[in-house]
Structure 1
Amino acid sequence: MTAPIPTFMLYGEPPGEVEPGFVHVESIPTRGRLVDWTIRPHRHTGLRHALLVSGGGGLFRVDEAVRPFRAPAFLAVPVGVVHGFDFEPETQGQVLTMSDGFVSDALAGVREPALRTALEMPLLHDLDPGDRALPDLAHAFAAVEREFLWSGVGRASAIAAHVALILVTVARLGQDGSAAADIAGPDLRLVGRLRQLVEQRFREHWAVEAYADALGVTAGRLNTACRRVAGCSTLQLVHNRLLLEAKRNLIYTAMTMSEVGYHLGFEDPAYFSRFFTKREGMTPLAYRQRHVRGAED
């Protein structure tokens, strides 16, 4: 039998709870040297990658596609997508890993749709050394790494600001859409469109059939694509987005449990509590109390 595709927190690390504000940055050699420069196909739950390759190159594996890349290059992996890398030895660059919640917070108040969808599809941009995008990306990645390694006041806000600048640069790079079209197959494109629609409608509690109708496919076709690309059903993908928003509101706002539920479109606070408890293994109140205690420790 074919072995299942592994799911990791960071590559090689067992999966765990992804906090809404999770962000991590490391150099490509940090992990590459440990695994002989081969990152085998795998996926992450609730996490996405952005890579800036400054030296070397290799192969980028996304779903069934395999594309060569050569520095300088920018690569992106959306949430849940199966991916891997065959790096040439001593390839240089940085890997930025972010949760959905962190990206959403970084773009709070941003109106441009292109920024919100900049990393929703797999990307491979071979950068021109003379292109203005390269120093912009290099500066932003270096700033994220500097803040990540420092514990100064405003650290999270500074990282979020630099991530927003990365997304601006990537959105400008992708204006012609050629990079996404070159890598993404039909299922990846369909799930990418679904994620964009879920972002707009998750508080309205649309049925799976409503999402399928809006995307012009059957519910079965959409569910098959979700399971293959994201490793979950369409309904689970929608519920994961609701759960993420619930966690963010429980951690970062002073809303009551009922207010959080109403804010997310639940007409009955008791139903919201059951929804959250079933998926998180604890009540909304217990989740908030645990994170308040953790912040105080």
Structure 2
Amino acid sequence: MTANGEPIPRYWLYGEPHAVPELRFVHIETIPERMRLHNWEVQPHRHDGLSHTLLVTEGGGRLTVDATDWVFRAPALIAVPAQVVHGFRFDPGTDGQVLTLSEGFLGGVLAAIHEAELRAALALPFARDLDPAAPDRPALERAFAAIAEEFRAHHLGRASAIAAHVTLMLVTAARLIAAETIAAAGGAGRGRSPDVRLLARLRPLIDERFREHWPVERYAGALGVTAGRLNAACRRVTGRSTLQLVHARVMLEAKRSLTYTGLGMAEIGYALGFEDPAYFSRFFAKRDGRSPHAFRRAHLADDGSAPPPGGSLDGNGLDPDGASSPQ
């Protein structure tokens, strides 16, 4: 058990205290930058609202998700969606890039994408070796390099440029995955547990129905399983219950509205399915520690000031060297 009573540690970035990410948080660093500090091993943990995509260019290692292991060798592409409990053991000397995106930033990118294959490219955890001769692999390396370059700069339109390069990364990743799925025995589900596959079906359903405040039993029925089975799968993969995942999605949408619109509290609450504005305020405060008004005031006060660790693309942006700092 952790000090706060949770069985699964939660971190900002690995080894840094847990915090709630800004809506447009982006961070990229090399694998050695963080792994040298932790003897190349990452104990099982999760991040609230942050997903990882890794491009491994040298070395290899093992990804563990939901008691399932993937062994990978460079070149390799790895995806770990938000909330999924995961751990790594890298071979010493492994190199590559680790891209971390908030659900808010990634959601904004995906909102502009209409192809289901691209939207699903990083929806499930995986570690996939790439064919060194694959024609799309250089494009993937260029996309990661371009994201890193924009991340460390303060050029005009940086957020838009990173979003464009993330889109290109998703396109290339989807093409590589599709090509290798056809060639590989076992197909796209190879190595993924039933729990992980069930969670992958749940996520788009939550996106579609979270405003309707469905009970867990209704989500389970739509997926053809019992509520107990669904809750068990969610807890094993993410450390959270089904209801907690739904509430996290409601909070993400609430924060988007508070940050990017001028809607009043009652309007935001009604749009999220709350008939009573006071109940919406209590719901928000219980999960964020601040009222919706206080959250909006804090965001407006921070606009143009120093960013949180790792780098929100709101306001003044990132530290010049792009480094993250623990809270």
Q: 1:240 aligns with which of 243, 248, 253?
A: 248
Q: 1:261 aligns with which of 255, 261, 269?
A: 269
Q: Which residue of 2 aligns with 1:93?
A: 96
Q: 1:115 aligns with which of 113, 118, 131?
A: 118
Q: How many residues align?
A: 297
Contact between 2:66 and 2:237, CA under 8 Å: does it hold in 1? yes
Q: CA deviation at 1:179?
A: 6.5
Q: 1:188 aligns with which of 185, 196, 204?
A: 196
Q: Which residue of 2 aligns with 1:223?
A: 231
Q: Which residue of 1 aligns with 2:45?
A: 42
Q: Which residue of 2 aligns with 1:56?
A: 59
Contact between 1:8 and 1:14, CA under 8 Å: does it hold in 2? yes
The one-letter code matched in structure 1 to 2:196 is L
Task: Report Cα offsets for 1:144-163 as digits up to 9, x if no partner.
Answer: 11111111211111111111
The one-letter code matched in structure 2 to 1:243 is M
Residue 85 of structure 1 aligns to a residue whose secondary structure is strand
Q: 2:68 aligns with which of 52, 59, 65?
A: 65
Q: Which residue of 1 aligns with 2:294?
A: 286
Distance in 2 (alpha carbons) for counterparts of 1:149 and 1:198? 34
Q: Which residue of 2 aligns with 1:6?
A: 9
Distance in 2 (alpha carbons) for counterparts of 1:267 and 1:282? 20
Q: Which residue of 2 aligns with 1:25?
A: 28
The one-letter code matched in structure 1 to 2:18 is P
Query: Does residue 295 of the first structure (1) align with residue 298 of the second (2)?
Result: no
Normalising by structure 1, report the TM-score: 0.94
Q: Within 5 Å, which residues of 2 pair with 1:57-206?
A: 57-175=60-178, 176=181, 180-206=188-214
Q: Which runs of 4+ in 1 moved over 4 A?
A: 177-180
Q: CA deviation at 1:274?
A: 2.0
Contact between 2:199 and 2:234, CA under 8 Å: does it hold in 1? yes
| Cα distance, 1:62–1:127 mapped onto 2, change above 3 Å | same
The one-letter code matched in structure 2 to 1:157 is S
Q: 2:285 aligns with which of 255, 277, 296?
A: 277
- Structure 2 unpaired stretches of 5+: 306-327
| Cα distance, 1:179–1:277 mapped onto 2, change above 3 Å | farther
Residue 272 of structure 1 aligns to a residue whose secondary structure is helix
Q: CA deviation at 1:256?
A: 1.9
Distance in 2 (alpha carbons) for counterparts of 1:136 and 1:287? 39
- Range that drifts further, 209-218 or 147-156: 147-156
Distance in 2 (alpha carbons) for counterparts of 1:261 and 1:235? 18
The one-letter code matched in structure 1 to 2:170 is L
* Cα root mean square deviation, aligned: 1.8
Contact between 2:71 and 2:127, CA under 8 Å: does it hold in 1? no
Contact between 1:203 and 1:242, CA under 8 Å: does it hold in 2? yes
- Range that drifts further, 169-178 or 24-33: 169-178
- Structure 1 unpaired stretches of 5+: none
Q: CA deviation at 1:269?
A: 2.4
Q: CA deviation at 1:170?
A: 2.0
Residue 183 of structure 1 aligns to a residue whose secondary structure is coil
The one-letter code matched in structure 2 to 1:234 is T
Distance in 1 (alpha carbons) for counterparts of 2:49 and 2:173? 20
Distance in 1 (alpha carbons) for counterparts of 2:173 and 2:209? 25
| Cα distance, 1:233–1:253 mapped onto 2, change above 3 Å | same
| Cα distance, 1:200–1:115 mapped onto 2, change above 3 Å | farther
Task: Report Cα offsets for 1:165-199 as digits up to 9, x if no partner.
Answer: 11122222333486751232111111121112111
Residue 111 of structure 2 aligns to a residue whose secondary structure is coil
Normalising by structure 2, report the TM-score: 0.86
